[in-house]
């Protein structure tokens, strides 16, 4: 997106809460891949989607430093549960520290490990799932979480435009781009769900599980 247009958008939406602004900055300062943080625009959208859908139980795959999990916690009721799974144990302390500082952190349950191993261990169904982990396993994640999403629930898949690399010829050794492209094709043909791909940030696919 053009930088001036992005600044215009950000100046015409709700401001980024101070704790998330600090978390965003901290992630960029301390980590090489700080840009993986959801950020102001996407974060406000996640909060708005929670207000619209009113989920009580949310599952997130890919905690990173905790920005999106805090957005889900902010947008949900006091009785909500947010379960978030992070594979990289080196990020655990950083994420927990931000959860502890937040007024909403008590809603968040952080699990560290392989999502495909942990998902079957989580009891009950979820109203919303956010997939933002290893792009090479997006199809596997989708199939693992779909049975755990209630009928009429939602799955959000992040980074589904993958910096535009899903267009044109993809190099055979560009495994992440190939995986995102295959995931998009897979979802487009899946009759169990309704879907819309939004050109927001790096692409966000909203998936509705039919009742």
- Strands 108-112, 149-158: pairing is unpaired
- pLDDT average, residue stretch 72-99: 97
Instruction: Provide the pLDDT for residue 33.
Output: 86
pLDDT in tens, 20-62: 999 999 999 999 888 889 999 999 999 999 999 999 999 999 9
- pLDDT at 1 exceeding the cut of 70: no
The DSSP secondary-structure symbol of 180 reads: H
- pLDDT at 171 exceeding the cut of 80: no
Instruction: Provide the pLDDT for residue 81.
Output: 98
Q: Which helix (H) or strand (E) holds 39?
A: helix 39-53
- What tokens does 19 get? 């704790």
DSSP bridge partners of 195: 207
Domain count, the chain: 1
DSSP bridge partners of 167: none
- pLDDT average, residue stretch 91-106: 97
Instruction: Provide the pLDDT for residue 113.
Output: 98
pTM for this model (two decimals): 0.94
How distant is the alpha carbon of residue 202 from its chain centre?
12
CA angle, 84 as apex, 137 and 45 as ends, to 5°?
90
- pLDDT at 187 exceeding the cut of 80: yes
Instruction: Provide the pLDDT for residue 168.
Output: 78
For the four alpha carbons of 40, 41, 44 and 50, in that order, the dihedral sign comes to negative
Of 40 and 169, the structure prediction assigns the larger pLDDT to 40
Range of the domain at 63: 3-209
- In this structure, what CATH number is given to the domain that contains residue 102? 3.40.50.150
What beta strand segments (E) does 31-106 contain? 57-61, 81-86
- What tokens does 188 get? 């487009």
Averaged pLDDT of the chain: 95
- pLDDT at 119 exceeding the cut of 90: yes
């Amino acid at each position: 997106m053009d930088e001036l247009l992005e600044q215009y958008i950000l100046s015409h939406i709700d401001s980024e809460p101070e704790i998330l602004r600090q978390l965003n900055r901290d992630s960029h300062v301390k980590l090489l891949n700080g840009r993986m943080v959801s950020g102001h625009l996407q974060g406000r959208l996640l909060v708005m989607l929670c207000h619209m859908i009113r989920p009580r139980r949310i599952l997130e795959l890919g905690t990173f430093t905790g920005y999106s999990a805090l957005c889900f916690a902010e947008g949900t009721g006091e009785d909500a549960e947010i379960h978030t799974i992070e594979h990289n144990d080196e990020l655990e302390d950083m994420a927990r520290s931000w959860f502890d500082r937040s007024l909403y952190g008590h809603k968040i349950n952080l699990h560290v490990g392989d999502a495909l191993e942990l998902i079957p261990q989580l009891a009950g169904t979820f109203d919303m799932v956010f997939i933002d982990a290893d792009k090479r396993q997006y199809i596997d994640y989708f199939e693992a979480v779909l049975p755990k999403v209630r009928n009429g629930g939602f799955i959000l898949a992040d980074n589904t435009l993958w910096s535009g690399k899903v267009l044109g010829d993809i190099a055979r050794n560009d495994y992440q781009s190939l995986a995102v492209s295959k995931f998009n094709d897979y979802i487009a043909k899946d009759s169990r769900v309704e879907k819309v791909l939004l050109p927001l940030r790096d692409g966000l696919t909203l998936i509705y599980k039919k009742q």
